[in-house]
């Protein structure tokens, strides 16, 4: 059985509203087909050549002319040409993104109808319900909606993209699916005393469809995690995007299907659907188009039900050292470290700081026919061709330390240990490094110098640390400022004082701050980039370690010798117009 395609499942599982043939072009009846292109030419919004290309593309694909123009980037957005067209057709145009729609208005048309016909109610006045539609002159849409609405209807023109976004905002992801399930079977019990066998529920296919919609929405929003959190009166769904949590827009009735959703995820992950008292971990794979996603699943029991977290891993996306955000100096240091014949290179930082991504980038660079590379991980996040990878299993005695000892019998040149958590693993790794192997691993510390203190606390002798470790690299991820809405500001003395006296800027310099737009979901940021701190074990640093100096003393010496701290690395990103003052201050500490 292959990897399921969540896009295909969503598209093939139709609702119960009959599909009617619609002869319209971005909301325009077929008879006005030539009018759209002519109007755009008259307003100089497109050229004759662009129109001919678009019409040829439309003939080949059968798509709407407006959609073709958008796909070809001949027009930036629907709001560019729809106002012009609305005047010619004598239909009002509304810009939905600037509107706030009351709940009592959206409740007048069911989610199934707004989703199927791409319409949304926007206002009720004098018993007239105003409805924004991408096809306001389509009589079939008017007839169908009249069947479920008692008010008189007034249709206005709205952009299709704006309408779909408004449906997601005001109705929630998968609202039509939840509505259908409520109509078929009513609320499903969410008690922990009984196990709902969703294979026996009439709406099981709809549960699958709804869950697929959640996955697809998270993927399109570039989320790294999906959190499904039960509370007494709601089931909340949140996405982690660029390291920050955001509420997902889901219908309130989702709470009635809490157990069904939980069981669906457990079935996909091959977990015990009857067990709700103990934590469970699993994984499954799905496909979006040509992209395979590896979903890591974790269940935790709570008084209100099971809390679920799904981590989304794009198994086809591996970064090179050039793509990590390293400066030229930092990349040269890291490349030289990967050429070392032996020793340990530690990456440090909290969970979610990108350590594993950097490790895989290093391994990919060294993955040649001349090297034998073995890793031991928990879990294996990416499958790397040409590299032997081992998954730890403490239940049968396969720990990091045991696996590391066994790996030596396979004559490796380079090894990667997912994490050093205890003295046994640390001591074993150091002994292996001293016998002529290059090892990469991670530690959970706030900065590079604290990695030394962490190893000493584990019980590792100072002389072993200085003998085996080549470098400690601290890492964080900062959000990239959105290029489409960022705003330029001139630094003032007050702003510089706010971020500390060591800020390498002067009053009057121009930097960029985040603002927020539709492209970045109003956050002001889009994507992330790493900042680094390289603590090279020079003779002076090794001497301080042997003297059991504090982490602060080690760090001060390293900075005096030229080491750039995480915060200083972040300031460089600000100067390069990649991120903002506020973002660097958020992810780094004073003096780091």
pLDDT at 481: 93
Output the pLDDT for position 4.
59
pLDDT digit string, tens, across residues 437-448: 999 999 999 999
| pLDDT classification of 198: cutoffs 50, 70, 90 | very low
**Residue whose C-alpha is closest to residue 174's, from 203, 143, 142, 131:** 203
Q: According to the model, what pLDDT value does residue 173 have?
A: 74
State yes or no: pLDDT of 106 exceeds 50.
Answer: yes
Task: Look over the chain and give the mean of its residue pLDDT values, rounded to a whole number.
Answer: 82
Farthest CA pair distance, the chain: 86
Residue found by looking up tokens 């290059």 in the block: 438
pLDDT, tens only, 268-300: 999 999 899 999 999 888 888 778 888 999 999
- Which residues, including other chains, have CB under 8 Å from residue 538's CB and lie 6 or more apart? 561
% of the chain beyond a pLDDT of 90: 34
Q: What is the pLDDT of residue 9?
A: 52
Q: In angstroms, what CA-CA distances link 8 with 3, 187, 216? A: 12, 27, 11
The pTM for the full model equals 0.73
Mean pLDDT of 410-431: 92
Alpha-carbon distance of 453 to 387, in angstroms, equals: 32
Q: Which of 139-143, 419-423, 455-459, 465-469 has the lowest mean pLDDT?
A: 139-143
Q: How far apart are CA 5 and CA 60, in angstroms?
A: 26
What is the Cα–Cα distance from 143 to 470, expressed in whole angstroms? 74
What band does 546 get if pLDDT is binned at 50, 70 and 90? very high
- CA atoms of 96 and 195, how far apart (whole Å): 43
């Amino acid at each position: 059985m292959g990897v399921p395609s969540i896009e295909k499942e969503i598209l093939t599982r139709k609702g119960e509203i009959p599909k009617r043939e619609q002869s319209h072009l971005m909301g325009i009846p077929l008879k006005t087909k030539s009018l759209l292109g002519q109007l755009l030419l008259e307003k100089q919004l497109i050229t004759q050549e662009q129109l001919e290309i678009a019409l040829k593309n439309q003939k080949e694909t059968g798509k709407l002319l407006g959609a073709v123009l958008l796909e070809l980037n001949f027009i930036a957005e629907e709001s560019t040409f729809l106002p012009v067209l609305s005047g010619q057709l004598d239909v009002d145009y509304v810009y939905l993104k600037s509107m706030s729609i009351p709940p009592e208005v959206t409740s007048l048309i069911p989610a199934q109808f707004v989703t199927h016909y791409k319409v949304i109610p926007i206002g009720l006045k004098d018993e007239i319900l105003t409805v924004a539609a991408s096809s306001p002159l389509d009589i079939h849409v008017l007839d169908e909606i009249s069947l479920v609405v008692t008010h008189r209807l007034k249709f206005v023109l709205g952009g299709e993209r704006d309408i779909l976004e408004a449906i997601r905002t005001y109705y929630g992801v998968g609202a039509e699916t939840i509505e259908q399930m409520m109509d078929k079977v009513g609320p499903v019990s969410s008690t922990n005393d009984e196990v709902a066998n969703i294979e026996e529920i009439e709406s099981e296919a709809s549960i699958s469809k709804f869950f697929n919609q959640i996955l697809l929405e998270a993927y399109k929003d570039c989320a790294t995690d999906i959190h499904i959190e039960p509370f007494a009166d709601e089931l909340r769904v949140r996405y982690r995007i660029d390291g920050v949590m955001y509420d997902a827009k889901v219908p309130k009735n989702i709470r009635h299907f809490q157990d069904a959703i939980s069981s669906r995820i457990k079935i996909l992950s091959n977990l015990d659907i009857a067990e709700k008292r103990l934590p469970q971990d699993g994984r499954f794979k799905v496909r979006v188009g040509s992209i395979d996603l590896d979903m890591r699943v974790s269940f935790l029991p709570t008084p209100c039900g099971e809390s679920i977290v799904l981590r989304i891993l794009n198994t086809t996306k591996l970064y090179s050292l050039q793509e990590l955000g390293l400066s030229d100096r930092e990349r040269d240091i890291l490349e030289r470290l990967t050429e070392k014949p032996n020793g340990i290179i530690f990456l440090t930082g909290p969970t979610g700081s990108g350590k594993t991504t950097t490790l895989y980038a290093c391994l990919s660079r060294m993955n040649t026919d001349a090297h034998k590379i073995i890793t031991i991980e928990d879990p294996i996040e990416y499958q790397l061709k040409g590299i032997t990878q081992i998954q730890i299993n403490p239940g049968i005695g396969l720990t990091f330390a045991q696996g590391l000892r066994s790996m030596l019998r396979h004559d490796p040149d380079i090894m990667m240990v997912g994490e050093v958590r205890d003295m046994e693993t640390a001591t074993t790794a150091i002994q292996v490094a001293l016998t002529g192997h290059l090892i990469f691993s991670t530690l959970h510390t706030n900065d590079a110098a604290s990695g030394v203190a962490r190893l000493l606390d584990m019980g590792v002798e100072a002389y072993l640390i200085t003998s085996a470790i080549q470098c400690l690299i601290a890492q964080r991820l900062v959000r990239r400022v959105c290029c489409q809405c960022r705003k330029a500001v001139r630094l003032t003395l007050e702003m510089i004082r706010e971020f500390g006296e060591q800020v390498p800027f002067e009053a009057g310099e121009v930097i960029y701050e985040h603002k927020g737009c539709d492209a970045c979901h109003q956050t002001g940021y889009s994507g992330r980039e790493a900042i680094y701190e390289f603590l090279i074990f020079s003779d002076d640093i090794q001497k301080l370690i042997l003297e059991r100096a504090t982490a602060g003393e080690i760090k001060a010496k390293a900075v005096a010798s030229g080491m750039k701290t995480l915060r200083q690395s972040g300031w460089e990103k600000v100067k390069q117009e990649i991120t903002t003052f506020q973002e660097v201050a958020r992810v780094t500490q004073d003096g780091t």
